[in-house]
Amino acid sequence: MSVFIDRDDTILIQGITGSEGSFWTRHMIELGTTVVVGVTPGKEGQSVEGIPVYHSVRRAVAAHPANAAMIFVPPRFTKDAVFEALDSGIRKIVTIAEGIPLHECLEIRAAARDRGARVVGGNTSGVISPGRAMMGMFPYWIERVYKPGRIGIMTRSGSLTNEVTAMVVAAGFGVSSLIGVGGDSVPGTRFAELLPDFQADTGTDAVVIIGELGGTMEEEVAEAMEARRFNKPLVAFLGGRNAPKGRRMGHAGAIVTGGKGTVEGKTATLRKAGALVAARPREVGSLLFELLGRNPGSKA
């Protein structure tokens, strides 16, 4: 079992013929992901890594039914790509582009909600269940980071995720599913919306969230814990503790306005709800160890 994707998901790749698209298509397949079809307008008839390419999502899914879409298109075309996937009935979408216009982020999230779909991203590396399937761009071949295991991870970052996950693995654990919700101020999917999936996932013993200053995603997690909608052990690591107030450092979503969204506030809220909050990446591993009381080994 895993969260969001598994081997039985059938993946369509939008923008498959681009350099990023084709590179990561190969890796997704190598990892075991069931990639069934690709789309690049104007390139029907080509194939990438043995995957047939179609002009449009509609034509692609007519020939090769898919239930999930991985979008590798530039930010300004992302909304169109997401709506095209939704229009063909796809309800599981990962979109990686950084720089999607803000108003379009709102439209993407609203459209997904209205259609009962889930869009993960933009501005993310995507989703990976190490050893099973991947929709995104993770260096899964680095074993000290992407070792399969029983820890669920949700993150707003990219490189920082590698950093923190490496510490989880260094402490003797592995990853069940890792979901990068992305660093935008209006991501398609929010931490708290994924908690029910991790709660239900029998392959996940505990969850790590890699958050940061700005927004309210971490507070929503605390709320779900307070309301007992999530009650597995949870460790948080939050970036931007020392970031200067009122200046945007890093991600679009990483800004404190009017005293709201500080790491200090998030830390207090999470702790009150029963989460452990790590001060440094390394501490994530030791806190997990403390919580789980044992080293569960690496097998999922």
Q: Are 300 and 176 in contact (CB under 8 A)?
A: yes
Contact yes or no for 25/2 (Cβ under 8 A) = no
Nearer to another protein, 95 or 155 (CB): 155
Q: Hey, what are 113's tokens? A: 């909600």
Pattern 179-218, binding to another protein, x per CB under 8 A?
----x-xxx--x-------------------x-xx-xx--
Active site residue 64: no
Cβ closer to another protein: 259 or 293? 259
Reading the block at residue 249, the tokens are 């450092």
Q: Residue 111 CB, nearest distance to another protein (Å)?
A: 8
3-class SS of residue 277 = strand
Residue 15 CB contacts under 8 Å (≥ 6 apart), including other chains:
21, 39, 40, 71, 72, 73, 81
* Positions in 71-130 near another protein (CB under 8 A): 75-77, 79-81, 83-84, 87, 98-103, 106-107, 109-111, 113, 125
Contact pattern for another protein over residues 224 through 253, marking x by CB under 8 A: ---------------xxxxxx-xx-xxxxx
Among positions 21-40, residues that touch another protein (CB under 8 A) are: none
- For another protein, give the closer residue by CB, 258 or 293: 258
Question: For 175, how many CA atoms within 13 A lie in the half-sphere containing its CB?
Answer: 34
> Residues, the chain, total?
300
Count, residues near another protein per rule CB under 8 A: 78
CB-CB contact of 93 with 85 (8 Å): yes
Element spanning 83, H or E: helix 75-87
Asked if residue 58 binds another protein (CB under 8 A), the reply is yes
Q: Segment 139-178, which members bind another protein (CB under 8 A)?
A: 139, 141-142, 155-163, 166
Residue 223 binds another protein, judged by CB under 8 A: no
Question: Which sequence positions are flagged as catalytic?
Answer: 251
